[in-house]
Structure 1
């Protein structure tokens, strides 16, 4: 039974995070390479702006911020699931190689399978999912011991090894590619929000609309998987079946995010930790908080990064890494 005081605290935190997200979006709509006066935001949103104002807001700023917000949410939820099923606080789709697997699949698809632009957008999450799934299965197999079961510490080190190997494979792939295609993949590797148009929102949104409610439905299973295996088995949990289902969800979320944002790590590491520190370790409580934290973190990083250097700014992946890498080292030393 969850205490009513804790539920009230969670709701208050969710309200504060929603206000933070809204405030960041409002600030982000006004600043950039082409500035937009804040007193013109509401008229422009209502369709009363000039052509330039409407173009900047609806074709450049707003879709990019929505894509960034959704991707951050997906990465945070993916990280929360991975930490739950592996019982390892260092698990993150970017750190353990799942994002790299998705990236290699996207690079192969982009380099060797020419396809129409309209179809390309919607196929990307599926291609990324296939690459991420193959990588996740290999990491799982190498981390699993028949006598002991899944080894959480080994999973992180195996994942880091896969991430490095896949990064090497990516370099080999782009070494003989055309210049324009190399530029695209280089931006992807840096975590540049490249999918900044409305079709990319429709490509990632269905994944979240289906997988977020399903994960919340499975929250109690995640709580049980966080306990020792004998306890989980004792209360009737089919451990391997639940792990596989939840792993598929985590991979799908990470793949849908990185297919439009590029290789971004650490969001899935930081957001669940911050959420647990705020409302405790129960998945029913901290997962909604982690989702909003992840969305805000990536949105904030991209808003700051794109305005630091004109005209292209600093990729969101680099901005997040500047915060996330020291945090990862701190957790590694602590755990």
Structure 2
């Protein structure tokens, strides 16, 4: 019996590794296509020559200063938001939970918007402060949701988390709308674009501001994969197995909030990635978090880079914000999941 179980686990692991390799190849293909997508086209030979240092000044500017930072940020954002959503779904045991629906993105966005209201959005120095400010806003929002949804002796109810998050998100969105009424035309245009989910941080400074958060928090979450497997059994059973449930929940929630906040700081209001990524990954590799978390990161990266590429290609020379493209995919999928939910 044990040998049969080990054989099944080995097959699932092999399947998971195969899925991740395929997703990695798809991301690489999307990466190459995205480098050649835009108002000014670069042929594959132009890309190769530019990478080898033989490109023109114009080609170097387009590739290294505009497109590559945006593509790298798209990959990081997709991974961060998808893993954040996966963690939140695991903690709350709610398949419909994600940072956007629960209002965490809105809390981060509100804090960033307050900052933009008082400082020029083009200032270079505050770029590295944006993830920190977004983390403060998202952290306060997550704490509010946790307090309102938590019941003594009952823990966190999945339905209460979802309803509380939706209510808090509505309040945060209303506050942002009020703030937009007091902005100058230039800042209003920037905020409107940001709220639509446009990847506005398109230079290497924004990559450097986001990268430390992803590099630190993603390995931490991956390390906690087995803990998340235990937490999915329910609070009573997890406590019986010796897991410090409340402490681990807070650690994982803090990591999820940090990932979502840092991504929102440079991507704007991109929603549904934290919902779609974990669900598609779960269908591909199953519910065990050792394979689910990295697969969700790859699915999220692929989703955002494809959405961003489509947004730049469909209405050239104009652009459709990445958040709108993702929403076109995510909204029907959310309604589908909602229709399948029994409670």
> With structure 1 as the length reference, what TM-score do the two structures score?
0.98
Q: Aligned with 1:117: secondary structure?
A: coil
Tell me, yes or no, if structure 1 residue 266 matches structure 2 residue 253.
no
Q: Of the candidates 76, 80, 95, which is equivalent to residue 89 of structure 1?
A: 95
Q: Of the candidates 287, 291, 300, which is equivalent to residue 297 of structure 2?
A: 291
Q: Aligned with 2:38: secondary structure?
A: coil
Deviations 1:117-151, CA, capped at 9 Å, x for gaps: 23211000000000000001101111111131111
Give the deviation of 1:303 after TM superposition: 0.2
Give the deviation of 1:37 after TM superposition: 1.4
Partner of 2:3: none
For 1:159 and 1:268, how far apart are their aligned partners in 2?
A: 14
Partner of 2:222: 216
Give the deviation of 1:116 after TM superposition: 8.2
- Residues 258-267 or 5-14, more deviating: 5-14
Deviations 1:267-293, CA, capped at 9 Å, x for gaps: 000111111111110000111111000
Q: Of the candidates 149, 174, 194, which is equivalent to residue 200 of structure 2?
A: 194
Deviations 1:218-240, CA, capped at 9 Å, x for gaps: 11111111112111000111111
Tell me, yes or no, if structure 1 residue 334 matches structure 2 residue 334.
no
Q: Which runs of 5+ in 2 are unaligned?
A: 1-5
Q: Aligned with 1:67: secondary structure?
A: helix
Give the deviation of 1:310 after TM superposition: 2.5
- Residues 291-300 or 174-183, more deviating: 174-183
Tell me, yes or no, if structure 1 residue 140 matches structure 2 residue 149.
no
Tell me, yes or no, if structure 1 residue 129 matches structure 2 residue 135.
yes
Q: Aligned with 1:173: secondary structure?
A: helix
- Kindly indicate whether the alpha-carbon contact (under 8 Å) linking 2:78 and 2:304 is maintained by their aligned counterparts in 1: yes
Tell me, yes or no, if structure 1 residue 11 matches structure 2 residue 17.
yes
Tell me, yes or no, if structure 1 residue 72 matches structure 2 residue 68.
no
Partner of 1:233: 239
Q: Aligned with 2:124: secondary structure?
A: helix
Divergent runs of 4+, >6 A: none
For 1:124 and 1:270, how far apart are their aligned partners in 2?
A: 26
For 1:196 and 1:95, how far apart are their aligned partners in 2?
A: 26
Q: Aligned with 2:242: secondary structure?
A: coil
Partner of 2:26: 20
Map 1:245-256 onto structure 2 (within 5 A): 245-256=251-262
Q: Aligned with 1:22: secondary structure?
A: helix
Q: Aligned with 2:287: secondary structure?
A: coil
- Kindly indicate whether the alpha-carbon contact (under 8 Å) linking 2:197 and 2:324 is maintained by their aligned counterparts in 1: yes
Q: Of the candidates 41, 62, 65, which is equivalent to residue 68 of structure 2?
A: 62
